[in-house]
Amino acid sequence: MKTTTFFTRTARRLRSYGLNLIFLSVLTGLFAGVVVTFYNICTSYGEGVAEEAYALLLENPAFIPLLFVVLAIGAILIGTLTKFVPMVKGSGIPQTEGAARGLFRIRWYAVMCSMFAGSLACVFLGLSAGSEGPSVQLGGCAGDAVAVSLKRSYMIRRLQISAGASAGFAVAFNAPITGMIFSVEEAFKSLSPAAFICSAISVITALFVRNSVRGALGFSVGFSFDNFVFAEASYTDIAFVALGAVIVALVAVAFYYAMFATKKAFTKVRFWGGRGKYLFPFLIAGVFGLITSYCIGGGHGFIDALSTGGTGDISGISVMGLSVGISIAIIVIFRFISMISVMSVGVPCGVFVPMLAVGAGAGALLSVGFQNIGMAPEFSDYFVIICMAVFFTTFVRAPITGICMVFELTGQFKNFLPALLGITIAYIVSEVCHLHPGYEKMLAQFIKSEGLDKNVRKVSLTLKIAEGSQADGNRLRKIIWPANGLVTEVIRADGSTEVPDGATTLSAGDSIVFECETDNEKSLKEYLADIVERHDI
């Protein structure tokens, strides 16, 4: 009898819930794949246009004042955009994470259009702006659009936002595993089978769309460091990785505290209704862009220029005729300052690759010095990539994403030990220095600044599990519960009670006590009803 019940319950759940999610995830992948692919094509074109424009201005310096007039106008327009659509402030990743966790809801059409246009404008104007962060938000909006258009529940809406964000990340980097891990490690902060399956299907679909579109238009399909040569590490090289990881992680710590301190200072800038503060990153970008083209755009070109082909000799980088070492140091400092100004003000543009570029540049500087005291020159390229991931991991505190990113971007699995060592050290340094995850802190600040935490109160609800519901036969940890909530007690059908943990299995006839902080009790009840009541979709 129990076996029959199990199979009946499983078949019902697969029909009403599983197949529905698969269908939605395919649609999310298709939508996200199209939007994000064209967005990245546009940003690549925009970077090229910006570099040509700045080079032309250097040849005709009489027009340089016009550049700063255009940048000032752009700053005011972008400041106005973020005032009307605050969800596009910054890279968009914290807001996407918040929406995926159910902390607030987004208007996908307004956010998608605003982020697409606003961040693209920043690229054309020559800011140190990447496309990866906005790609995550555009993908999340695509997932939200699918769920809302088909009138699915808020829980499924959250799943599709996460799936779309993963697809956007994967399309931007051509890194499917990293995209899926990103949704687990960053969006939900837990391993949910439903979230993982949705993300996997959306990522696969989106990458199929990406590669088809790019191939049809004659663009390169891959995203990798083709000019880098990754040699195996000796024990001596591994020791240099440990030392380099500590140094780069400390640079990331300095960036973390400098960025949040500057962000706090900019909250006091009120002229032009707060829009005036956007002048700083735009004008800074203009100055730095005229000095070196390596400060324009996300930083893909700068990272590629750091490759040595396995020789350990970096060439081709020069700022105002200075030596390679000094030139790299200038670029790293300029990008460091640009990122702080962009992130602290809230310019709608990506900082994911700019962060990687700073880490890679710091790694290249260390590589030059370490080669003089014993590090193998042929290990230089891989050392740069590890330092790039170290900077990212220290700030974001997502070590698994960092490790997967190294492997997928390099295509190298034989150098597991040095990559794992560097990222582990980065995580330890961030822990010792008391760094909260960067995107987490930005999300908390965004919620507070926009007043999204007002009218929040604690609610306690008792609900009964219906036969055939999503909760029936499931463990607590496999269910995506409302944000800021917890099942505090399970009342079994026989009247016994227990304090649950993640492994507790719920059954039809049981009741749960759910406590949650919310500003909308009606929406909370609707969300929970979707979990504990039977719904045949």
Q: Could you tell me the fold of the domain covering 2-216?
A: Clc chloride channel (1.10.3080)
- The CATH 3.30.70.1450 domain(s) of the chain lie at 456-532
Q: What is the CATH number of domain 456-532?
A: 3.30.70.1450
**pLDDT one digit per residue (tens) for the chain, 537 residues:** 444 455 455 545 545 556 788 899 999 999 999 999 999 999 999 999 999 999 999 999 999 999 999 999 999 999 999 999 999 998 888 899 888 888 888 899 999 999 999 999 999 999 988 888 899 999 999 999 999 999 888 888 888 999 999 999 999 888 888 888 876 776 666 667 778 888 899 999 999 999 999 988 888 776 566 678 777 888 888 999 999 999 999 999 999 999 999 999 988 887 777 788 999 999 999 999 999 999 998 888 898 888 887 777 887 788 888 888 899 999 999 999 999 999 999 999 888 888 999 999 999 999 989 998 989 888 888 899 899 999 999 998 888 888 888 777 776 666 778 888 999 999 999 999 999 988 889 988 888 888 877 777 888 889 899 887 888 888 888 888 887 788 889 999 888 888 888 888 888 889 999 988 887 788 888 888 888 887 654
Name the class of domain 235-448: mainly alpha
Cα 266 to Cα 218: distance, rounded to the nearest angstrom: 44
In sequence order, what DSSP letters do the residues of 367-392 get, joined into one string?
HHHHHTTT--GGGHHHHHHHHHHHHH
Beta bridge partners of residue 463, listed in sequence order: 512
Q: What is the helix (H) or strand (E) element at residue 502, kind and residue range?
A: none
Which phi and psi (to 5°) does residue 514 adopt? -115, 125
Cα 222 to Cα 128: distance, rounded to the nearest angstrom: 23
Q: 183 in the Ramachandran plot: left (φ > 0), alpha (ψ -120 to 50) or beta?
A: alpha
Evaluate if pTM is beyond 0.85.
yes
Number of H helices, E strands in the chain: 19, 4
- The CATH 1.10.3080.10 domain(s) of the chain lie at 2-216, 235-448
For residue 488, give the nearest of 506, 474, 472, 501 by alpha carbon. Answer: 501
Q: How far is CA 383 from CA 240, 250, 262, 363, 521, in A?
A: 9, 17, 31, 7, 52
Find all residues with CB under 8 Å of 325, minimum gap 6, and list them: 365, 368
